[in-house]
């Protein structure tokens, strides 16, 4: 790139290029500035200088030739840093490689607990021979064909403390094979039993949950099933949240009064069946 010396000695190529560029037309002067030239804007605010002089006054660059030269360090055409470090490259530096199994942003890992253990919820399956499973099967007289190895709890100890869930065999395989591998599962299974406070030694403390009732209802034995056939009896149960069965109060329960009076305490299944009676269900 050529430059012109301040004493006016320009090369032939520079003079030829300069002659081929037409001088821009002067900007029209605004009305009112002729009388008071001191009010007119400065030349730097209205038009761009065609020549720039450096601090020493020895070099003057042609228009469009030396205006953007030399480039800043980040735009070095050679791809190398010129002076010091490059702030652009430092700001966009690649992320530091993290240890295997960690998810990082920059150099700060997340997704693990302080003790370097993976943060995942507990899905523990109960043994088919667990004592609580035996009590449930004996109390509700569940069919032996109903699977015993698909009951799950949601605590790290693997003990049935509050609730039991029921899953399919495929869900059990997925949860069991991915345990401790860092994959987080949010929810699985259907809540089947909920533990409740009950008095008496022969009372099962596990109540059938409404979510699991459609799955379990057909497998419950007749000893824990109450059959209802009249509309008026159902209306009474819908009005009375805690119907009484002591003394003569069982008579208010209609055809199910004697059934519940002879039944032991604990959860049972109420099954509404069709009937040919006048007040029955069709």
Q: Which pTM value belongs to this model?
A: 0.56
Q: What is the pLDDT of residues 220-257, one digit of tens each?
A: 999 999 999 999 999 999 998 888 888 888 888 889 99
- pLDDT class of 150 with cuts at 50, 70, 90: very high
d(CA 43, CA 56): 22
DSSP secondary structure, the chain, as one string:
---EETTS---HHHHHHHHHSPPPPPPPPPTTTTT-GGGSPPHHHHS--S-EE-SSS-EEEPTTTSTT-SPPGGG-TTSS--SS--HHHHHTPPPPPPPTT-EEETTEEESB-TTS-B-----EEPPTT-HHHHHHHHHHT--TTS-SS-EEE-STT---SSEEEE--HHHHHHHHHTTTTT------SEEEEEE----STTS-SEEEPTTTHHHHGGGS-GGGEEEE-BHHHHHHHHH-SS---STTGGGGGGGGHHHHHHSPSS--EEEE----STTB--
Q: What is the pLDDT of residues 84-121, one digit of tens each?
A: 444 444 444 444 444 444 443 444 444 455 555 555 67
Higher pLDDT, 25 or 93: 25
- pLDDT class of 183 with cuts at 50, 70, 90: confident
d(CA 242, CA 72): 84
Q: Please answer whether residues 246 and 230 qualify as being in contact, where contact means their C-beta atoms are separated by less than 8 angstroms.
A: no
Tokens 């065609």 belong to residue: 50
């Amino acid at each position: 790139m050529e430059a012109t010396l301040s004493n006016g000695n320009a090369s032939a190529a520079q003079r030829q290029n300069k002659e081929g560029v037409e001088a821009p037309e002067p900007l029209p002067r605004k009305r009112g500035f002729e009388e008071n030239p001191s009010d007119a804007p400065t030349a730097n605010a209205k038009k761009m200088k065609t020549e720039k002089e450096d601090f020493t006054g020895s070099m003057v660059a042609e228009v469009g030739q030396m205006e953007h030269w030399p480039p800043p360090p980040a735009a070095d055409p050679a791809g190398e840093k010129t002076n010091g470090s490059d702030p652009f490259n430092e700001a966009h530096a690649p992320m530091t490689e993290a240890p295997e199994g960690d998810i990082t942003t920059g150099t700060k890992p997340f997704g693990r607990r302080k003790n370097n253990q993976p943060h995942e919820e507990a899905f523990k399956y109960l043994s088919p021979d667990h004592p609580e499973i035996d009590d449930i099967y004996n109390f509700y007289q569940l069919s032996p064909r109903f699977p015993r190895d698909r009951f799950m709890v949601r605590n790290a100890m693997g003990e049935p403390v509050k609730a039991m869930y029921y899953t399919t065999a495929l869900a059990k395989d997925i949860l069991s094979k991915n345990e401790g591998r860092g994959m987080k599962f949010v929810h699985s299974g259907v809540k089947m039993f909920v533990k409740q406070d009950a008095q008496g030694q022969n009372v099962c403390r596990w109540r059938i949950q409404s979510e699991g009732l459609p799955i379990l209802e057909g497998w419950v034995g007749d000893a824990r099933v109450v059959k209802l056939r009249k509309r008026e009896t159902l209306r009474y149960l819908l009005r009375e949240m805690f119907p009484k069965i002591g003394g003569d109060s069982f008579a208010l329960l209609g055809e199910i009064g004697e059934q519940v009076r002879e039944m032991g305490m604990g959860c049972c299944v109420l099954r509404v069946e069709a009937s040919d009676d006048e007040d029955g269900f069709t």
